Structure 1
Amino acid sequence: MGLFASPSFASTFISDGAFESHASTGRNLLQTKKACPVNFEFLNYTIITSQCKGPQYPPSSCCGAFKEFACPYTDVLNDLTNDCASIMFSYINLYGKYPPGLFANECREGKEGLACPALPPSELADEKNGTASSIGCSCEELENCFDIINHYYQMASSLAMSPLPMDRNLLLTTSTTTPATIISLRMCHSFQEVKQLHTQFVVSGLLGHHPLCARRLLEAYVTMSQIYYAVSIFERIPSPDVFVYNTMIRGLTMGTFPHDSLLLYKEFLLGYLKPDNYTYTFVLKACSRLKALSEGQQVHCQIIKAGIVPDTHIHSSLIHTYANSGSIDDAERILGEFSEENTLAKNAMISGYLSEGHVDKARTVFDNMAGKDAASWSALMTGYTKNGMHAEALVLFQEMMVSNIQPNEAALVSLLSACGQLGTLHQGRWIHAYIDKTGVLMSTKLTTALIDMYAKCGSIECGSELFQKMARRDIVTWGVMISAFAIYGHARKCFQLFEEMLAGGIRPNKVIFVTILSACSHAGCVEEGRLYFSQMEHDFGIKPSMEHYGCMVDLLGRAGLLAEAEELILSMPEKPNSVIWGSLLSACRTHNDLKRGTWAFENLIELEPTSGDRYKLAGLMFANAGEKEEVIKIRKMIQEKEMETTCGSSFIEVEGSVHEFTVRDTVHVKAREIHGMMKGVNNVLETANDFS
């Protein structure tokens, strides 16, 4: 069921009734302020964030960067009849996470960074081109702007941290200012802070009276990836406009609800609203994630019929949609529409090729690019990792370092994933140190990737330490940490984390329950497994999938409860897959249950008739039971058919180098030394047995 299909959903949130009938005097209290003529939401803030970094925040760098960014807009920033100043600084803080009042405190007369150049950067650029700019930038103008912003920061920061309901007069200030608490939404660093402000908005009545409040609250929840809360706000906004729809569609698309994003887009069109470039970009991304070729083609047709001139974002989203849906030819055709170098479109094509496994084509596009950016390297690196080419991803990272390109978050996440898959703890630690040294923002996603890497490389203590230090954890973080303890057999720790997650207001998803049930299976916790399997559907409305049934069959089989495992298989709403039959066959071999084992084997070879591993497992079961005739039959079947067998392999890191070992491998560079060592170990063991 989709997010927008449940009428009972929204009743559990604290904003209930916030938009129900209010006195007519309240709705227009703060609507007289002019809209800001500059769209600060989509400006490039890397001018500031790349130069003004914590924890030192050097005043000279910070103020210089701020002036370079703000000088072109001094006229509107110092106009108190609009809210440009508060909007601009809200976005600066959103992207940079700066301490309250940083710029206002540092950029003053007599302090570093205030001295203005004769001409601002924008004017200097115009002068070089032979034109003059009318924009001025004086120290006095900037200082005035600092005074305005400092007021907002001090007021918003104090109110954001207040645990008690606030005075209504503080919230509904005047008709010419935006309430500080609304501005402070963009300064919130945690989900808890947003919820606290949400509560204050409801208690004070601001949520129902100020037209900007619900919009900014919706935006905050989307930014925090708290989609359920975002939906509760969205459903109570009367007559949502294009911005509100775009925000909600973006949240659903970038979260785990791309299907709901398309449903909401349909509602958007039925409301006779006109989509803009942002709408089309977000909807196409949803189509791409769903591999929804038909829907993507329909959106493409709508863009053409509407006479929209696609920008680079729409073009790249179209390429993603077609490529991810398997229509590589259409993606290539769209890429061919560009007559000049377009990095964004080529990055999309690289990702598209890699999503279909065309690694060589992706590398060709990458190698032929004139202007590779961090996203180009990241796209190829991520594609290598997703295609199992983990060693190649690490080699590409070294090339990236030589090219003096700083990896973005996506690249670092892919690299850490590669380290985890290869078990290269040394390389993973080096990347962690690089992140700390270069001041890369430790986002939830990046920290989660570090935790996952440490867990897979055998250093669960380091992963757990990072987890405990995190200020904000999302559902993926909890899943990774629970999975880590499950892998190492710490089932009780998994159960403890699950309860902590519920107490923190995080609802478990299907993946969490797969992890929990897997932990129960490895630890032999039958009763707990039954309980979680029941809770999943009854308490959280999650219908068991094939993976959940597989975990339960494995759990019951390991415990020797083969009759219960058989009963569970027969109760499944769909036919069991090979994993489930394989788990039952393995359990029957362990517990010498030939009847059920034969039943499992017969069903298994129908699904995988050429899997030699399955025949070998059945042969071992019959051999353990002394059924020599059946063993002979199995061997004959293996000889008559062309069987596919999976060779076991493992990785080990020695002195910073990763070595792969495969069954019957004779081409390893140190194969002779390895076999000699193994022979020596066998001799020692045989000698020890002679004396025992």
Structure 2
Amino acid sequence: MKSEPFEPFPSKFPMHLLARSPASLIFRRSSSSSISSNSSAVCNYVIAQLDRFLSSPHCPTRDCLSRSHALIITSGNSANPFFSAKLIYLYASSNSPFSSIEIFRGTPNKDAFLWNSIIKSHFSNGLYSRSLELFSEMRSADCLPNHFTLPMVASACGEAGWPNFGMCVHGLASKCGLLGCSSAVGSSLVYMYSKSGEIGDACKIFDEMPDRDVVAWTAVLVGCLQNGEEEKGLEFLCEMLSCDVRPNSRTMEGAFQACGNMGALLEGSCLHGLMVKNGAGSSPVVQSSVLSMYTKCECPDEAYRSFCEVVDKNIFTWTSVIGVHARVGKMRECISLFHQMQDAEFYPDRIVISCMLLGFGNSMNVLEGKTFHGLVLRRRYLFDQMVDNALLSMYCKFRQLDIANKLFDRGNKLDKERWNIMVLGYGKIGLEENCIKLFKEMHYLGIEADSNSLVSVISSSSRMRENSIGRQFHCYAIKCLMDSDVSVANSLIDFYGSCGDLSMAHSIFSKAMRDVVSWNTLMSAYAHNKRYVDAISLFNRMRLKGISPNSATLVTVLSACSNLASLEDGERIHQFITENQFKLNVSLATALIDMYAKCGKLEKSRQIFDSMNKRDVISWNVMISCYGMHGDAKSAIDVFQLMENSNRRPNNLTFLGLLSACAHSGLVKEGKYLFDRMESYSIKPDLKHYACMVDLLGKSGDLKGAEELVLSMPMSPDGGIWGALLSACRIHGEIDIGVRVAKHAIESDPGNDGYYVLLSNMCTSIGRWEEAEMVRRTMKGRIEERRAGWSAI
């Protein structure tokens, strides 16, 4: 049966009787006949009311508390520590710690119990510094703390950021022998050291605790989480479960948060299963933590299932489930959830709207994004700076710069996020000059750039081959102390790698904080500059450091093995992939196909190709090129037919590989068929396709057909085409055609001396001495016109 809130006096209580009664009679029962029956009734009533005051678990209203306080004073119990402690607690609960301190000051003979009460009153109201000052007063009064005092004081040190004071409290706890007698003391010290960033000391305290309850385990787990040691926190959780300690909701919340921060979906799913098994899934805190974990791991299906299990849904849970679907591009589900949220009478706030807009931008749903923009305007949803910036980002990703520029011009000119979004947008679209120009204007106006903008302009400099500008941005990064940022450092490594300055790239790599992308970037730089041995050595060093490579790492190092034709290294990396159970995705399988083919293991390449469940156009092209490389044009054509049968559309590289294979094998008929077939796929031949066809016709002796093909080209032939045709004429002894072709070649490229030599030799071979001499004079005159070189040595 529910007890009634404490009410010290009824509204019609005869207060005049209490006023007449001596204070000394209130708590003394007497059989003297001199005490009237009225006084006895009053005495019994007051005793009952004071008993109810001490035993009532409810916090009374401020008026009731004031009347109770008056009753305690008039009854002569203001010096009683039990009543004082109760009043201190109630005033603190009603957010009046200053009233609590007045009661405390007025109470004589203060013991540890009363000191604990006043310290707790300030601690519970967030006045941590004041509670520590009161603890200092307690020590000055020569009152020893107990196992109730120190947990509050240690926690207050952590909250107030007083680590030195906390260390003194730790020493006092050891001196008083309180560490071993109470797990609460040890848990609070673990919490204090964790809050101070000293997770090592927190773990030492935890290891020394003889009795570890769930509070202690939770304190060390959450402490690891607060200090970025999520993996260590999960190790403590496993140890906790092996000790048969049942986790509480706070423990599970911390564990799910650790899994989410690490992106550890497998561990989080196992923890979710354990929670369901133990029947701990009904807690709203745990349900929200599970949802948050799945959203951070970007697992929308599991996130939606967890969302459905949440009983008390709020705007935060709706935002979480909508956000994860938006990030992975599931906009159909995202729109459905958005409408469901409104049906549940939750008004979308700016965060939900921003998530939706960013989702449309990431998924490149232009029509749907514009439609949602119109919906936001029509329904007059909250349209603040965050929503405006999300719109700007969406239109930049849509490459609709006319709208993006209008949004940018009408907004707050000094908002740094808008400038950074535009710089990033120009960089991603490929407008490198605009990107750099806007960044410089931003710098001139004194607007702070973020790491994304700096990465964008460094990458733009790299793509434009503007080495001096890229070095300027490097200096800017050092000046603004942004060179230690991992993403900025990675972009600088890539920039110097593309410039060929590998010593600078390695220097930045050695000094910066590194992630797996850093290793991949330097490895790619080595491969790009044909230092394949260094790329493989860097991969071996990466493994020795205990850093787990990803698929991009493996693709890069396999490419290095391919270019070196190092079968031993390639097989070792393939074994590493198998042993570590890497998922053989399309890019990784394609890299293995290429590596084995270039190392002479064509059968192994085909075996991997046939085992692929999914193939993209690059996979097909690589397999076709592998057969062409080995002179097996028929097998290359067979693979092409399989490609057509699988409804995979070929591209220009597909036909280049096929024509090259036919040229190597001398399959003229098949080559002509494939060349004509390009038109059916709306692919226009480029110079490389024509070069293959000229080479094919020239090797087969059809020099007239090759000449006609060259003269009918829609673009000017380059040196490769003329050279291939001239060589074929010389090999087959077709001097007349060769002379004509050489004259065409010289007209197209007068600076190529090789054409003059070939023409002179062919004229000499058929007895045209005068013509040959004239060609030599022309070539000699050109050489004399050149500026002579000189040396300072």
- Counterpart of 1:600 (choices 664, 674, 681) is 674
Q: Hey, what's the Cα distance between the residues in 1 that align with 2:752 and 2:453? A: 33
* 2:319/2:352 contact within 8 Å kept: yes
Q: Which residue of 2 aligns with 1:452?
A: 524
User: Once the two structures are superposed, what CA deviation does each residue of 1:201-234 show, in whole Å capped at 9, x if it has no partner?
Assistant: 52353563444345434544554xx545x64354
What aligned pairs does 1:256-335 form with structure 2 within 5 A after superposition?
257-258=328-329, 260=330, 262-273=331-342, 274=346, 275-335=348-408
* 2:253/2:289 contact within 8 Å kept: yes
Q: Which residue of 1 aligns with 2:596?
A: 520
Q: Which residue of 1 aligns with 2:308?
A: 238
| Residue 426, structure 1, aligned to residue 503, structure 2 | yes
Which one has a larger percent helix, Structure 1 or Structure 2? 2
Amino acid at match of 1:633: E
| Residue 416, structure 1, aligned to residue 493, structure 2 | yes
User: Once the two structures are superposed, what CA deviation does each residue of 1:258-287 show, in whole Å capped at 9, x if it has no partner?
Assistant: 2x2x13312312423544333333333332
Q: Which residue of 2 aligns with 1:348?
A: 421
| Residue 358, structure 1, aligned to residue 428, structure 2 | no
Amino acid at match of 1:108: N
Q: Hey, what's the Cα distance between the residues in 2 that align with 1:364 and 1:146? A: 50
- Counterpart of 1:406 (choices 482, 491, 500) is 482
| Residue 580, structure 1, aligned to residue 657, structure 2 | no
Paired residue secondary structure (2:487): helix
Q: Hey, what's the Cα distance between the residues in 2 that align with 1:433 and 1:619? A: 50
Q: Hey, what's the Cα distance between the residues in 2 that align with 1:513 and 1:392? A: 39
Q: Hey, what's the Cα distance between the residues in 2 that align with 1:675 and 1:611? A: 37
User: Once the two structures are superposed, what CA deviation does each residue of 1:435-460 show, in whole Å capped at 9, x if it has no partner?
Assistant: 1xxxx3x3343443334334434221
- Counterpart of 1:146 (choices 182, 192, 198) is 192
Q: Hey, what's the Cα distance between the residues in 2 that align with 1:219 and 1:280? A: 19
Q: Hey, what's the Cα distance between the residues in 1 that align with 2:561 and 2:287? A: 40
* 2:432/2:461 contact within 8 Å kept: no
Query: What is the deviation of 1:373?
Result: 1.9
Query: What is the deviation of 1:664?
Result: 8.1
Query: What is the deviation of 1:321?
Result: 1.7
Task: Point out which structure has higher relative CO (alpha carbons under 8 A, 6+ apart).
Answer: 1
Query: What is the deviation of 1:397?
Result: 2.7
| Residue 199, structure 1, aligned to residue 270, structure 2 | yes
Q: Hey, what's the Cα distance between the residues in 1 that align with 2:788 and 2:301? A: 60
Query: What is the deviation of 1:417?
Result: 2.5
Query: What is the deviation of 1:529?
Result: 2.4
- Segments of structure 2 that go 5 or more residues without pairing to the other structure are 1-122, 130-156, 171-187, 196-201, 203-215, 225-231, 722-749, 754-785
Query: What is the deviation of 1:596?
Result: 1.9
* 1:557/1:583 contact within 8 Å kept: yes
Q: Hey, what's the Cα distance between the residues in 2 that align with 1:454 and 1:244? A: 46
- Counterpart of 1:529 (choices 589, 605, 617) is 605
The structure-2 alpha-carbon separation of the partners of 1:481 and 1:610, relative to structure 1 and needing over 3 Å to count, comes to closer
* 2:659/2:674 contact within 8 Å kept: yes
Amino acid at match of 1:268: L
User: Once the two structures are superposed, what CA deviation does each residue of 1:618-660 show, in whole Å capped at 9, x if it has no partner?
Assistant: 212222233322232233234xx33375999xxxxxxxxxxxx
Q: Hey, what's the Cα distance between the residues in 2 that align with 1:635 and 1:600? A: 17
Amino acid at match of 2:435: A
Q: Hey, what's the Cα distance between the residues in 2 that align with 1:494 and 1:213? A: 47
* 1:377/1:411 contact within 8 Å kept: no
Amino acid at match of 2:694: G
Query: What is the deviation of 1:583?
Result: 0.3
* 1:221/1:227 contact within 8 Å kept: yes
What aligned pairs does 1:514-663 form with structure 2 within 5 A after superposition?
514-537=590-613, 542=614, 544-571=615-642, 572=644, 573-604=647-678, 609=684, 611-638=686-713, 641-643=714-716
Q: Hey, what's the Cα distance between the residues in 2 that align with 1:283 and 1:196? A: 29
Q: Number of residues paired by the alignment?
A: 514
* 1:589/1:597 contact within 8 Å kept: yes
Instruction: Tell me the TM-score normalised to structure 1 length.
Output: 0.63
- Segments of structure 1 that go 5 or more residues without pairing to the other structure are 1-72, 80-100, 115-141, 649-662, 667-671, 678-692
* 1:335/1:345 contact within 8 Å kept: yes
Q: Hey, what's the Cα distance between the residues in 1 that align with 2:479 and 2:518? A: 23
The structure-2 alpha-carbon separation of the partners of 1:525 and 1:664, relative to structure 1 and needing over 3 Å to count, comes to farther
* 2:516/2:549 contact within 8 Å kept: yes
Amino acid at match of 1:332: N
The structure-2 alpha-carbon separation of the partners of 1:166 and 1:426, relative to structure 1 and needing over 3 Å to count, comes to same
Q: Hey, what's the Cα distance between the residues in 1 that align with 2:593 and 2:751? A: 34
* 2:454/2:473 contact within 8 Å kept: no
Amino acid at match of 1:298: T
Paired residue secondary structure (1:414): helix
* 2:303/2:321 contact within 8 Å kept: no
Amino acid at match of 1:109: F
* 2:494/2:505 contact within 8 Å kept: no
* 2:628/2:662 contact within 8 Å kept: yes
Amino acid at match of 1:146: M
* 1:277/1:310 contact within 8 Å kept: yes
Q: Considering only CA atoms, is the larger Rg found in Structure 1 or Structure 2?
A: 2
Amino acid at match of 1:212: V
The structure-2 alpha-carbon separation of the partners of 1:379 and 1:106, relative to structure 1 and needing over 3 Å to count, comes to same
Paired residue secondary structure (1:642): coil
Amino acid at match of 1:411: V
Query: What is the deviation of 1:553?
Result: 1.0
Q: Hey, what's the Cα distance between the residues in 1 that align with 2:357 and 2:274? A: 39
Deviates more, 1:494-503 or 1:456-465: 494-503
Q: Hey, what's the Cα distance between the residues in 1 that align with 2:220 and 2:719? A: 64
Q: Hey, what's the Cα distance between the residues in 2 that align with 1:364 and 1:397? A: 13
Query: What is the deviation of 1:413?
Result: 2.7
Q: Hey, what's the Cα distance between the residues in 2 that align with 1:102 and 1:525? A: 63
**Percent of pairs identical after alignment?**
13
Instruction: Tell me the TM-score normalised to structure 2 length.
Output: 0.56
